[in-house]
Structure 1
Amino acid sequence: MKIYLIRHGEPDYAPVTNAGYTGFGRDLSSLTKQGVLQAQHCAEQPIFNEVQLILTSPYTRALQTATEIIRRHNLPSQVELGLHEWYPDKSGWQIKNCHQAMAAYDEYTTNHGQTSNTQDWDYETSTDIRHRVQAVFDKYQRYQCIACITHSEVIRQFGDWQRIGYCEVKVIQQ
């Protein structure tokens, strides 16, 4: 199966920040105007002529990106919880603000996505991410080609890509 991994468009965190949302509340961020344009431009790519299904993360920025693609191509879609972004706090209670989330991410990257004996944060490891997302892909093996709208840290688990731009497309074979 061919899978096009597509990062969502540029998010606008200002509304959720101004509303005082933290934790999962930040995942309600929609796209900026530029992010919408990025998604519309992505939708123009010829790859969608072979795509049979769009899978998308449940986060607003991914859903809005998928909407622009679906609107142009009238493709079937499925929201998959397992395509969410990396968890900086598996308990859901430890991290209270974006500064702590960034500290957890710094620790995650310092440890190359793995745990260590000295870690301060209970984050999801790169192995955890890969297993979670692979379980989603395994459900769709009957398709020859799908597109998956998700997040940069998820995409990184399936290739040697350091920097992934908004609405950038990567391809893998399963």
Structure 2
Amino acid sequence: MTQFYLIRHGEPEWNINEQYKLKGHGRDLVPLTEAGVNQVYRTAKDERLKEAEVIISSPYTRALQTAAILSKELGLDIKVELDLREWQPDLTFEYDSLERLAELGNDYDANHG
């Protein structure tokens, strides 16, 4: 039987988005905070992960950084899966603020997807 362990990325450094005025997919380039890196190192010590055979990661920086730490600590290869990602609220890739992201999310909810 195949087992999957789903691990969420460590804490991202979201304030970089506002600092650099990142837009669209650029907003997904933020790295982990120091606390986020430490979260991943602690996660890598989970006994269940000793049985893992491969790490599958989304292409987002926060996920890849998490996967890289796990890969180093567990001695596993990483496969990047482009379809492993969050809902994309702005297919124009032009949103540039948390306010615009909230507006898009509210529109999604109001129209049931």
Q: What is the CA–CA distance in structure 1 between the aligned matches of 2:24 and 2:100, rounded to whole Å?
A: 10
Q: What is the CA–CA distance in structure 2 between the aligned matches of 1:108 and 1:42, rounded to whole Å?
A: 33
1:60-139 superposed matches below 5 A? 60-89=61-90, 91-93=91-93, 95-109=95-109, 114-115=112-113
Unaligned 5+ segments in structure 1 are: 116-174
Q: What is the CA–CA distance in structure 1 between the aligned matches of 2:102 and 2:94, rounded to whole Å?
A: 13
User: What secondary structure is seen at the aligned counterpart in 2 of 1:68?
Assistant: helix
Displacement of 1:27 in angstroms is 0.4
Partner of 1:121: none
Moved over 6 A (4+): none
User: What secondary structure is seen at the aligned counterpart in 2 of 1:83?
Assistant: coil
CA RMSD of aligned residues (A): 1.8
| Counterpart residue identity of residue 14, structure 2 | Y
Q: What is the CA–CA distance in structure 2 between the aligned matches of 1:95 and 1:17, rounded to whole Å?
A: 12
For the pair 1:13 / 2:14, whether they are aligned, the reply is yes
Aligned identity (percent) is 38
Would the aligned equivalents of 2:18 and 2:97 in 1 still touch at CA under 8 Å? Answer: no
* Higher relative contact order (CA closer than 8 Å, sequence separation 6+): 1
Would the aligned equivalents of 1:22 and 1:98 in 2 still touch at CA under 8 Å? Answer: no
Structure with more strand by fraction: 1
Partner of 1:170: none
Displacement of 1:105 in angstroms is 2.1
1:123-149 Cα shifts (integer Å, max 9, x gaps): xxxxxxxxxxxxxxxxxxxxxxxxxxx
User: What secondary structure is seen at the aligned counterpart in 2 of 1:2?
Assistant: coil
Q: What is the CA–CA distance in structure 2 between the aligned matches of 1:44 and 1:33, rounded to whole Å?
A: 17
Unaligned 5+ segments in structure 2 are: none
Would the aligned equivalents of 1:58 and 1:81 in 2 still touch at CA under 8 Å? Answer: yes
User: What secondary structure is seen at the aligned counterpart in 1 of 2:89?
Assistant: coil
User: What secondary structure is seen at the aligned counterpart in 1 of 2:59?
Assistant: coil
For the pair 1:37 / 2:51, whether they are aligned, the reply is no
| Counterpart residue identity of residue 97, structure 2 | N
Distance 1:110 1:38, change over 3 A: farther
1:84-115 Cα shifts (integer Å, max 9, x gaps): 222012x325634321211222344566xx43
Paired positions, count: 112
User: What secondary structure is seen at the aligned counterpart in 1 of 2:39?
Assistant: helix
